[in-house]
A and B are shown apart, each in its own frame.
Chain A
Amino acid sequence: MNTAKFLTLATAVAILVFAATHWYGIDYLFFAGYTILQFVVLATAWNILGGYCGYVNFGSAAFFALGAYSSVFMHKIYPLPVPALMLVGAAVSGVVGFGMGYLTLRLRGSFFAIATLALAVVLQTLVVNWDFVGGSRGAYIIRPETIEIAGFQINYIEYLFALMLALAVIALTTARTIERSQLGFGFATIRDDEMAAEASGVPTLRLKLIATTLSGAFMGMAGAPFPYYIGYLQPASAFGLEYAVNSIAMPMIGGTTSWIGPLVGSLLLGTAQQYATAYISLGTGVNVLIVGVLLIVFVIIAPNGIVGLVQERLRARRRP
């Protein structure tokens, strides 16, 4: 199925999902759905660099928070519609991703990973010290009740949900297109054996920078609407633990070699966490602890994730 067909199919699915949730009309569905979709985007973005190229980013929270804080910044200077803010978030996080990549990707893979961890701490320090965006006290963004689009009054949370749906479709389509393209082919060589890739003529630094920039940009886009969603943005929530662990756990548990893995991982884990919070009243702490434990378990016993397990089952069945 080529890209255009996939995009059409994905958009059709998205429209169906939106219509169904709209018909149900329960606000909670939109809130929960938004969070899950956010994770779909974050997991997919992480996987472009982590799963395809093999370079681990521990600082997803940093890129996400950069997107969120760019929105806060713009809100105070010159309010823009949310889609425009997403572009701003993409630009800011993309540039930071590029810069950090340029400084650290020329060295060992492990240095990049460590740098991303340290980046999250540093950005949080910067934000906490920057009163203009609220500092440690946080920033309020009043979310309007409704928004007018093409003459219709739409519930604002539905609007955010729709935007996140659209972003998820774009992220998934981009990941899939990359995977099947020459670029994705090149990414795979970096993951398999970077030295051999260079010797075969693959411009590894350039490809890695493309991956870091794209990955960062998508994370920034996912973060941009967040202040509007949550109403009150604090550094602790933007740089929160859930983002750090989920961005890694979801693709690794789902499966890192294709675009389906992060989707499966984020839908499963995202829904499970929402359910646990709402119906079992599991606090964020225990929720996220379980995700962490699952990550360790899966990484040890099922390195190719759920998708990998399914593929093995199918392969075993095919052999007589």
Chain B
Amino acid sequence: MDISWDLLVNAVVAGLLLGGFYAAVTAGVSISFGMLDIVNIAHPAFIILGSYIAYFFNINFGIDPIVVSVIALPAFYALGALVYQVYYVAFEKRGQESLRGLAFFFGLLFVTEVALILVFGVDYRYVEAAYIGPSIHIGLIDLPLRMLVPCLVALTMFGALQLFVTRTFLGRAIMAVSQDQLALQLMAADPIRIKRIAFGLSIATASIAGALLIIIQPVEPSVGREYIGRVFAICVLGGLGSMPGTLIAAFLLGVVESLTSTFYGPSWAPAVAFGFLLLTLAFRPAGLMGR
């Protein structure tokens, strides 16, 4: 079979760049699902919300989308803390997380998507920035800046989170609450407050992930649903709660999707994540680096 090496190499590189972005998208769920055991399926909706906020300020005020997302961080953090508080009072306290908690997040996902449709319509939206368009060329390899910049920002954010979780007291408290809530209480730290902070952080990452998303591709409200499969596939494949695992899984998924897209057509891409998810659940449910 005569594979064009040019095409292959570029597909792999594009996949790696995409994977970096996927890692940022998944970082939030790695915290909420991997560490706090909260199945926040509405996470992609928050990401899309972030995309639209970046879009709005970019189109109307000309501000760079990534800058918008950083400014929006406190708002998203507060939103996350609020959502967790409602979730805790309504469900976690009553021990009803499974059915009703899931329905709650599904409701959030749904309402966000429909609200965005009503406000912005179903047309695809784009942002404009200096780095959308040009590419760097290194030999065979094309590095479109519109993918390189998000990838770098994503990895930076991911690295910052990893440092936070391993080096700061708060970060390690979050790791602790995921493993032994009682021990944390004995250390005189309030587990509920810790979880609220963690969930707030998780949603804050969605602000940045959203801006990166709309830089990489045009966005419309239902795009969020494609990411649910991807995000949970990466989380499960990487091993719940393991950030390094999440990174590796994200790159893996990115590359496989990119290769599928290049050689079989882009409309098959959403199915790849699901295939990953099913295979992982069937053969190695603990993931690559699971606890």
Contact = CB atoms under 8 A, between A and B. Distances in A.
Direct contact of A and B (CB under 8 A): yes
Interface of A: 50, 54, 56, 58, 103-104, 107, 109-111, 113-115, 117-122, 125-126, 128-129, 191, 241, 244-245, 248-249, 252, 256, 285-286, 288-289, 292-293, 295-296, 299-300, 303
Interface stretch (B98-106, B153-161, B162-170): B98-106
Contacts of B238: none
Contacts of B135: none
Contact of B41 (A113, A126, A128, A245): A113
Nearest to A117: B228
Interface string B83-106: 000100010001010111011101
Contact of A125 (B118, B232, B267): B267
A129 B268 contact: yes
A256 B271 CA distance: 32
Nearest to B118: A285
Given A110-B39, A249-B107, 18 more contacts: A56-B99, A109-B98, A110-B98, A114-B41, A115-B274, A118-B232, A121-B228, A125-B267, A129-B268, A241-B114, A245-B106, A285-B114, A286-B118, A292-B107, A293-B111, A296-B111, A300-B86, A303-B100
27 contacts: A54-B99, A56-B102, A103-B282, A104-B278, A107-B285, A110-B39, A115-B274, A118-B229, A121-B270, A122-B270, A122-B271, A122-B274, A125-B268, A245-B107, A286-B118, A288-B114, A289-B114, A292-B107, A293-B107, A295-B106, A295-B107, A295-B110, A296-B104, A296-B107, A299-B107, A300-B86, A300-B104
B41 A252 contact: no
Nearest to B87: A300
A121 B226 contact: yes
Q: Which 7 A-B pairs have the closest CB atoms?
A: A118-B229, A296-B107, A292-B111, A292-B110, A289-B114, A122-B274, A110-B39
B99 A111 contact: no
A292 B111 CA distance: 6
B172 to A, nearest CB: 25
Contacts of A120: 225
Contacts of A296: 104, 107-108, 111
Contacts of A129: 265, 267-268
Contacts of A289: 111, 114-115, 118
B104 A299 contact: yes
B71 interface: no
B198 interface: no
A118 B102 CA distance: 15
B281 A111 contact: yes
B203 interface: no
Q: SS class of chain B's interface: helix, strand, loop or mixed? A: helix
A195 to B, nearest CB: 13
A107 B118 contact: no
B229 A122 contact: yes
B117 interface: yes
- Chain B, interface residues (CB within 8 Å), range: 35 or more
A125 B254 CA distance: 18
A19 to B, nearest CB: 38
A104 B108 CA distance: 24
B103 A299 contact: yes
Nearest to A303: B100
B229 A117 contact: yes
Contacts of A114: 39, 41, 228, 232, 277
Contacts of A128: 267
A236 to B, nearest CB: 9
B110 A104 contact: no
Query: Which has the most chain B C-beta neighbours within 10 Å: A111, A129, A241, A296?
Result: A296
A107 B104 contact: no
A244 to B, nearest CB: 7
B103 A118 contact: no
A58 B106 contact: yes
B155 to A, nearest CB: 26
A107 B103 contact: no
A124 B282 CA distance: 22
